[in-house]
Amino acid sequence: MDRFLKGHVSVLSCFPPSVGRDVAVAVVKPLAAGLGNPSTRSLLRTDRQVKWTMEVLCYGLTLPLDRDTVKLCVDVYTDWMMALVSQRSSTPPPISRDPNLYVQRILRHLYILFLPRSGPVSPVYLSLCQQVLGSVQTLARESSVMSRETWETLLHFLLRINHTLLTPPTPAGGVSDLSVAVLLEVWLLACSGCFPSRSLWQTFRQMFLSWRHQPAVVEQWSRVAAGLTSRLLPQMFGPSFPPFEVPDEDASLVPADMADERICHTWFKVLHLFSNPVDLIGPAAGSSQDKDVQLPGIFLRAMRAVSELVNAFLGVTVRSSGPTEHLLPNTGLTARTPFRDRLPSLGKQPLQSTDLPHQTFSVGSVLVNFSVIFPPGFSVSRSPFRDRLPPYGFSRPRSGSAPPTPVTFPSASDAPPSKSSSPPCKQQTPSPPHRWKSSSPLPPSCPPLCTSPRPPAHPLRCNVDSVLHLFGSWLFEASLITSGKQNDVTVMPEQWAAGRAEACGTLCRIFTCKKTEENIQCVYLSRFYLVLRQCLQDACPPVLVSVLLNSTRLFCCDLRGVNLLLPSFLSVLETVLLDRDLIQFKGLVSPVDLRRSSIFILLSLMPLPLQLASVQLQDSVDMMSSDDATAGDFLSYKPRLLSLLIGALQTETDTCNIQLLLAAMLNVVHDSAAAEAPPPSAKPAQEIRFRRSDHQNHKVQSGTTSGTNRTRTPTVQSEAAVVWVHVVRLLTQRLTSQWRNDSAVCLSALEVLGGLAKVEVQVEESEWRRAVGSVCTYIVFQCGRPPPLHSRDLHSIIVAAFCCLNTWLTRNPVLLQQEECLLEVLEIVELGISGSRSRQDQDQKVVWKENKDLNPASLRVKEAAEATLSCIMQVSGAGLGGSLRDDALMLNDSSLKRSKYFVLEGSVILATLEPTPEPDQEQSPSLLVVLRGPSGHRRWSLQLHLLPKDGRIPQKQTTLIPEQRRLTPEDVGQRKSINHQLVPEHLDRVPSVGADQSIPTLTRTGSAEEQQQLDHLRSTLKTQQHIEALPQVSGQSVAMATCRPPPPISCFQVTRLLLSHLGLLTPESVKDLGLNSIQPALLSLDSSLPGFSESLRSLDQLPSRNSDCAFVFYMREGQTKPREILGNVEKQCSVSGHFLDFLSSLGWPEEVGRLQEGVASRSEFEAVLGDSGGAAFDGRRFVLKFGDALTQITFIVPSSHTYTDWLKSQEEAGQACVSSSNQRRSETRPSEDIRSCQSVSTFFRSDSKLLIVWVEHFEDIEKFPLTDLLLETRAQKETSSSNIQLIFIHPLKTGLYRISFHGNTSTKLGLVVPLVNGMVTSRRSLVFLVTEMISNCSHRCRMESDSAPSPHVKRKHLINDIILCYKSRRSEPAFYSALFHL
């Protein structure tokens, strides 16, 4: 480079300064006067003239700037340089003939302008430099005749002036930013037109290393690297890979016509111009730079640039603001195009940290306060780099929450705690009752709720090893710089922590983007684990923040050996989640986001102790220690994790974070209980069967097995039971105090409480009683709010509380045997139905039902209370339920004609049928009764006997009057005297007792009028006795007739007897009041009207429980077409064995249109499954059914043949006549049986659907063809996916399952639990959590929809329609005549 100025010193420098100045002024003024005038010709015509003039101009550039001589020289040179762009009249002819030669000499002369000058930098100097750089930039952009020598001279010129301006100790002037920008832009233009030589690249790299201490250098380098990367990615990954969006000015730096091959070479060479950013803090940076206060900021900016490039290669880019088609709201999932978070562009306007002393910016994954990290005077660029956490809505912290208390879980031999797990600490006064925080929709400025920890990387991203080959050495070294002396690590101050934090966060993102079957080199894994342990042990706040924010998926991506980091992460999580104030992280990050990322990590850590129970962990204090000391096995960390989870729930105040912790609670408790349960081989054979949805079977099981085994007092309480007690007490205490004003948290807590009621643990009955009492207290509090504060959200929470109460009662029917509990529950039901209780306090007088005004909180609350009352009746055995066939429901033709139908109290349809007795059957009153009500239907067979039926010996019916013998001849004509006794003989001999006086005599109770009648009766009896005692006047003998009993009757009018016994057959009950709104207590229906049987059959087909449905899919590696996905379940070899086990645990096989009775074993499932991979349950003949007392779920495994047959059946059903439905049912094909399954057909036509997808490769979730699959299956006529909810299940190598939930989670009531995105669960809890999630999602949809009433409401409305259509118009006499068969 020294030869750049060799021979270019003007000869005028040999003369006195005054001579040179005068000559320069005299020469340059005429030349400058002719510039820009097209009519003026150049004064110079020959080469000698031009060369002599250039010597003068060269000297003129060295003159002081106080006059215009230097400016005129620059004007002349910049005008002559344009000869390479276009010909001008002012340009000398020699230059026009050979512009490359003269431009090279001009560039060597112009370098003199940039040499250091004495004194301060003047604006004139800056203006001249900018003029020269602008001309050079125009020359490189527009010239098409530049030779290679000219290109190299131009690049040498730019390198030299930048080296002069940027190399220490020369301070950078105001032109340094522009000079670096022009150098890089011209260099890129040269790479496109004339690629620089290897030696020139080496020179550039050597010089660039000495410029890195300047902020402008790292800023411009990052811009060029980003622009090149945006052009490189489409070449490497194709057009479907997400573009790396950069500002237009950065993208324009790369010439549009640059060849693809040159882009690759240029990108690689430009990337390594900066070399390792860690060298900024090493000895290579020079002693003078070690004291440079700007170096920490430069180091941070360089690491940020590397981080952005890494994100680009991973496919994590800035989301565009335009609408995305087929986007699932707030899920991060689209039908075709993945949804990703893209890094925003870098700003260009520098900001001084002194101007913004309290401003915080997002740096990488850390929101850093620049006034804390950077010294005054450092210039940075504004970057709205958003956090990588999900954009959850923020809520203000609530007051009155108690600080956490460590929870010590006793061993199995310890007794359960006698007090609540919530500590008796000093709390603030709870919010007054009139304060209710309704979760209203978030404002447009706030992002909606989302359950994803951060946007996923693109499936086409490169492997982890490839990214580490490029950036690994820089990132690993930058992550290991510390503030202490350890081995060869350089001692660094705290200012470097921000750059180190950026490097650590980038490494975490790289490793969490590992693909399913990807193998990472062991050397990279070991270095990464070493970095993480070092960072977590150093406890540097910015580094800890960066690691936590970027490690939310670290433990759920099948990294080999990552579980060994459990102790290190556990210690850090305890620091974050148990600290309410987080003072050490103040100013770095939002506490809500930091806690949320920590909670996501905790979600993935919770199942590890039980899954890897006996695996030993190495001591995390010193990873490189040579001793074999261990920190115990994984199971030993379970108490710490449980204590951390409960403590975090006590500390947390953010709504979304609390919901995540609640979801983890249910997962942990159920997993612990399932792990302690006896293995299937140890259970009786009948307990290995699948449960059935038959309510009668469930009631028997609940009343006997569940009601006794689950609530008996155990001698030794298990650890799962202790945890269950702690969690239930904590949730109920918080529900009635701190959380009761937060609708979203209350709803999630109620859902979790309902799930905890289903966990099989053995605890004392008092624990169940306490939980039910807390729910009742919560309902009383919410219903007691002032009317102005009542809203739909509040009523939805009350409805959810009633549903939770139903779950606890059905799971623990023994509670209803306690008078106190039954009374409390019935009072709550009364409160929900009428709006008030009959007795508010014990001392108050009871208000009777007829004296109360019905004023419920809302119609939905009233209906929920009615459902709870029906549930109580079901559990106690006094309600309606069950599922019967047509013959049992008396809907066949023969039974329908002989049956009588009545309506009781306007809500229950009573059907009676007197069966025809068999010839050898005993003559006795018999009756078949079917009751149809809102809660279901039930059938009874009634029979009246004179003697008890049990233990009765069958014998011929005898009469009470003995049969007299025949008269003999000698007795003929003789009269027998018979002494009639009004009372038994010898009654006076029986001693009287006190009970004989319990019934008073007539003489003591009658009135005066009655005494007169009694006296008249006595006189009449005496007269009759006197007449009978008189002798016969005539001697004729009188033969007495034989007394015989009457013959038994065969017509008993049993319906009349039943109604009479029920107290319904009274004049008041059958009298029509003439009011349309009030029906008589007993009303008859006319079964002869057309359509009556069809209406009853429709009523019987309406379920009495919540009926939900879900699709189950299996997605193999790389599949993107619907037909491929649907065809997986055709063959058993196409699916994994774990998937079949999952199907078998979801429910039992049920034939479509038929009611299964009894239980189903594993062998039955395998028999129905056959050789298919689940296609046997595609709804054509079989489905999988799960049910309990309150809900039933139908699982359909779609195949490639399901929907074509279903569409054909629908067309045929529409063409067929309704009157021949019974005949069609007997002649239908198997594929048409789906018409008989209401839940299946309803699911096809419903707007809200839930899909369960088993994915072999987790990254294939982004390619799931949701819209195409719904169109292919005809399950969705439109492409809208707003009401679709998806549960993705991905099996991990550890035996755990990773969950990804996508759906409409932007509701006002927040997240749906217990499955949240990012959760990891065990095989023991997978099916339980899936069924709970389906029930909760469906319940949320029903609560938020006005067109989805509960099942008992649907049945009640249909019963009212039947009454209005088919009630008999008879008069009262006609009613009695029909009843008595007159």
What DSSP string runs through 905-937? TTTEEEEEE-PPPPTTS----EEEEEEEETTEE
Nearest to 1255 by CA among 1287, 1285, 1288: 1288
pLDDT of residue 318: 46
Please state the φ and ψ torsions of residue 1008, each to the nearest 5 degrees.
-65, -40
Residue at token pair 């009955």? 765
Checking phi first, is residue 184 left (phi over 0); if not, alpha (psi -120 to 50) or beta? alpha
Q: Please give the Cα distance from 295 to 488 (Å, whole number).
A: 21
Q: Please give the Cα distance from 28 to 53 (Å, whole number).
A: 9
Average pLDDT of the residues of the chain: 77
Residues contacting 1124, CB < 8 A, separation 6+: 1116
Question: Which tens digits make up the pLDDT trace of 1314-1329?
Answer: 999 999 999 999 999 9
Residue type at position 1054: V
pLDDT tops 50 at residue 385: no
Q: What is the dihedral of CA 756, 757, 760, 764, to 10 degrees?
A: 110
Residue type at position 1125: I
pLDDT of residue 485: 39
What would the mean pLDDT of 641-647 be, rounded to a whole number? 96
Q: Are 1188 and 1170 in contact (CB under 8 A)?
A: no
pLDDT band at 1032 (very low <50, low <70, confident <90, very high): low
Q: Which residue has the higher pLDDT, 721 or 841?
A: 721
Q: CA geometry: angle at 356 spanning 350 and 362, to 5°?
A: 70
Nearest to 28 by CA among 51, 55, 57, 48: 57
Q: Are 794 and 782 in contact (CB under 8 A)?
A: yes
Name the range with the highest mean pLDDT among 404-413, 730-739, 879-888, 1345-1354: 730-739
Question: Which tens digits make up the pLDDT trace of 1134-1158?
Answer: 999 999 999 999 999 998 876 554 4
Q: Which residue has the higher pLDDT, 392 or 1070?
A: 1070
pLDDT band at 841 (very low <50, low <70, confident <90, very high): low
Residue at token pair 């799930």? 755
Residues contacting 237, CB < 8 A, separation 6+: 458, 460, 461, 462
What would the mean pLDDT of 360-367 be, rounded to a whole number? 38
Q: Where are the alpha helices (DSSP H) in 694-818?
A: 695-701, 707-709, 719-735, 743-757, 765-783, 792-811
pLDDT tops 50 at residue 324: no
Question: Which tens digits make up the pLDDT trace of 425-461?
Answer: 333 333 333 334 433 332 333 333 233 345 678 888 9
Q: Please give the Cα distance from 822 to 1174 (Å, whole number).
A: 45
pLDDT tops 50 at residue 690: no
Percentage above 70 pLDDT, the chain: 71
Question: Which tens digits make up the pLDDT trace of 58-80?
Answer: 888 888 887 888 999 999 999 99
Question: Which tens digits make up the pLDDT trace of 1000-1010?
Answer: 777 777 788 88
Q: Which residue has the higher pLDDT, 890 or 574?
A: 574
Question: Which tens digits make up the pLDDT trace of 563-618?
Answer: 999 999 999 999 999 999 999 998 899 999 999 999 999 999 999 999 998 888 86
Residue count of the chain, please give it: 1382
Question: Which tens digits make up the pLDDT trace of 1059-1106?
Answer: 888 888 888 888 766 555 577 888 889 888 899 888 988 888 888 888
Q: Are 708 and 760 in contact (CB under 8 A)?
A: no
pLDDT of residue 827: 93
pLDDT of residue 1208: 57
pTM: 0.80
Residue at token pair 């006896």? 678
* Structure letter (DSSP) for residue 706: I
pLDDT of residue 198: 94
Q: Are 449 and 392 in contact (CB under 8 A)?
A: yes
pLDDT of residue 32: 84
Percentage above 90 pLDDT, the chain: 43
Q: Please give the Cα distance from 1181 to 624 (Å, whole number).
A: 62
Q: Residue 938: which H helix or E strand, with range?
A: strand 936-943
Q: Which residue has the higher pLDDT, 1280 or 150?
A: 150
The CA R_g of the chain, rounded to the nearest whole Å, is 46
Q: What is the three-class DSSP state of 1286?
A: strand
pLDDT of residue 1341: 87
pLDDT of residue 1282: 60
pLDDT of residue 642: 96
Lowest mean pLDDT among 207-216, 236-245, 685-694, 1370-1379: 685-694
Q: What is the three-class DSSP state of 354?
A: coil
What would the mean pLDDT of 19-48 be, rounded to a whole number? 82
